[in-house]
Structure 1
Amino acid sequence: MRKFSKEIRKVVIKVGSSSITHDNGKINLQKIDELCYEIANLKNRGIDVILVSSGAIAAGRAKLNLKERPRETSDKQAAAAVGQVALTNIYDRSLISYGYNSAQILLTRQIEKDDEMRINAKNTFEKLQGMNAIPIINENDTISTYEIKFGDNDTLSAVIARITEADLLIMLTDIEGLYTDDPRKNSEAKIIREVKDISNVEGMAKETKSNVGTGGMFTKIKAAKLAMEKNIEVVIASGENMKIIRDIVKGEEIGTYFKC
């Protein structure tokens, strides 16, 4: 069993598009419902949860019957505008069934540079946590430009963990954790269960993109580094089964643990 450096009272959970969509790109309703169940159960235990969820563009693509992921910026922004509504409604229906409300928060990178904006966001998170509401965060794709864009929700999740002073950041992805090489291409690749010095693994990951999302292990390591700078521990694990969340918080040796 793992022993975290401090008691886990606040968790930021990041889910990528691939964790909440089917192979055809459409939203996986069962996976979202399972995720909401795990979040609600953590809240019932007295652990505050903030969710950073990708999937707006994927949801918009499905709703607009687009055959491929949009490539032009304006097409992505339009798909995100449609998809964000659909995605939030799905989360809201599931959370309500477990006794909680959802709160949608869309951010840009300005939150890192603007002190007033950052303080306002932190205050909002704190109020929501006392109001039976789960903050669900995504990048504001519709208005984001290169200068104010996070570019991936891994980075966004680390920034949110820092702002809210979370104890643990969980990033769920489509593989079990950080490997010595890409396990989908190299059968000899071995999973790394614990990282204490992140400089030892910074050069190991390659940047990847899938048909439904952006960001691979490269962005997750960068995000882990951001979190660890503020003494926030990180676990990267597979989002194949959402029950993994309870096991991670319990201290099971799952995925890759970035220990402060």
Structure 2
Amino acid sequence: MRELLKDCKRVVVKVGTSTITYPNGLLNLKRIEELAWVLTDLKNSGKDVVLVTSGAIGVGAVRMGMKERPTVIRQKQAAAAVGQAMIMQIYHNFFDRYNQTVAQVLLTKEEISNDNRYQNTKNTMETLMELGVIPIVNANDTISTYEIEISDNDRLSALVAEIIGADLLILMTDIDALYDQDPKTNPNAKRISSVEWVTDEIKKMAGDKGSQFSVGGMLTKLQAASICQNAGVRMSIVLGEDPTIIHRVIAGDDVGTFFHSKKA
């Protein structure tokens, strides 16, 4: 069913911390610029595009001299406040080179669990896309506490895809696909090309979380896939090193791991 992706009208792209930063936690400006070009080109082709970005806490932590991602709420909030401003300024600068307007949308669990806030969030996103704007979504970690934080941005991106009725969610990460075993430790691990449904057996294939500045691992991506499948949203996991892989996913190429949905 990959060939159907070329006809999708609404795409959510999620970039993880490891995709937009170097291992030392500093922003990978070249990759962010390439991402801005690809997403603007996708928008110019007539598709609605939403970007879900990670990295605020990690980038802010590095800027303030922290050696690893903070775990104390107050420190996470402070790091997010610094990092969010940095990331949005850079996104704005790069998208502006291609005359593409972007908007920041910060969400907590309350916007998703409360009916009125859910509808307000949906209305805002729909209006932005109607006006030709690319919404850039992140968790509102600056004000988040345990009760209202969204545990990871893989889940957040799946919930955003559900809210706006997206056709496709693309998760860009530091591994090129789901494997039957950990490819970092087992050279005989085999790539899983497509998944009909996320079962317990599939979840057992998930490994550990990613870099020291990130939260999500393969398990969170499979949880996101479950949300998407139940919401009728197709999903792909791909390597984030080259943003042009987004074009290959939409063209229906056999890259990464493709997750079917009730639509396919």
- Cross-structure match for 1:231: 232
Helix, strand or coil: the match of 2:172? Answer: strand
Paired letter, 1:139: A
1:68 and 1:118 mapped to 2: Cα distance?
33
Paired letter, 2:221: K
- Cross-structure match for 2:22: 22
- Cross-structure match for 1:183: 183
1:86 corresponds to 2:86: yes
2:237 and 2:50 mapped to 1: Cα distance?
16
- Cross-structure match for 2:174: 174
Contact 2:5 2:250 (C-alpha < 8 Å) held by counterparts = no
- Cross-structure match for 2:119: 119
- Between Structure 1 and Structure 2, how many residues are aligned? 260
Contact 1:6 1:167 (C-alpha < 8 Å) held by counterparts = no
Helix, strand or coil: the match of 2:23? Answer: coil
So what's the TM-score if we normalise by structure 2?
0.94
Paired letter, 1:219: T
Q: Runs of 5+ in structure 1 lacking a partner?
A: none
Paired letter, 2:188: E
Question: After superposition, where does 1:154-233 map in structure 2 within 5 Å?
Answer: 154-199=154-199, 200-233=201-234
Identity across aligned pairs (percent)? Answer: 45
Once the two structures are superposed, residues 44-87 of structure 1 have per-residue CA deviations (whole angstroms, 9 ceiling, x without a partner) of: 00011101000101221232233333232211110110110010
Once the two structures are superposed, residues 120-153 of structure 1 have per-residue CA deviations (whole angstroms, 9 ceiling, x without a partner) of: 1111111111223110011111111222111100
- Cross-structure match for 1:103: 103
Question: After superposition, where does 1:133-144 map in structure 2 within 5 Å?
Answer: 133-144=133-144
Deviation at 1:6?
A: 8.3
2:4 and 2:61 mapped to 1: Cα distance?
40
1:56 and 1:157 mapped to 2: Cα distance?
15
Structure 1 runs of 4+ aligned residues shifted over 3 Å read none
1:29 and 1:258 mapped to 2: Cα distance?
30
Helix, strand or coil: the match of 1:80? Answer: helix
Contact 1:27 1:58 (C-alpha < 8 Å) held by counterparts = no
Contact 1:7 1:167 (C-alpha < 8 Å) held by counterparts = no
Deviation at 1:209?
A: 4.0
- Cross-structure match for 1:48: 48
Helix, strand or coil: the match of 1:123? Answer: helix
Decide whether aligned partners of structure 1 residues 158 and 198 sit closer, same or farther in structure 2, where only a CA change above 3 A counts.
same
Contact 2:73 2:145 (C-alpha < 8 Å) held by counterparts = no
Paired letter, 1:76: K
1:73 and 1:185 mapped to 2: Cα distance?
34
1:123 and 1:2 mapped to 2: Cα distance?
30
Which range moved further: 41-50 or 205-214? 205-214
1:184 and 1:197 mapped to 2: Cα distance?
25
Paired letter, 1:9: K
Deviation at 1:181?
A: 1.0
Paired letter, 2:92: D
Contact 2:6 2:250 (C-alpha < 8 Å) held by counterparts = no
Deviation at 1:237?
A: 0.6
2:207 and 2:238 mapped to 1: Cα distance?
17
Which range moved further: 167-176 or 128-137? 128-137
1:259 corresponds to 2:260: yes
Helix, strand or coil: the match of 2:214? Answer: coil
1:84 and 1:132 mapped to 2: Cα distance?
23
Tell me how large the CA RMSD over aligned residues is. 1.5
Deviation at 1:5?
A: 6.9
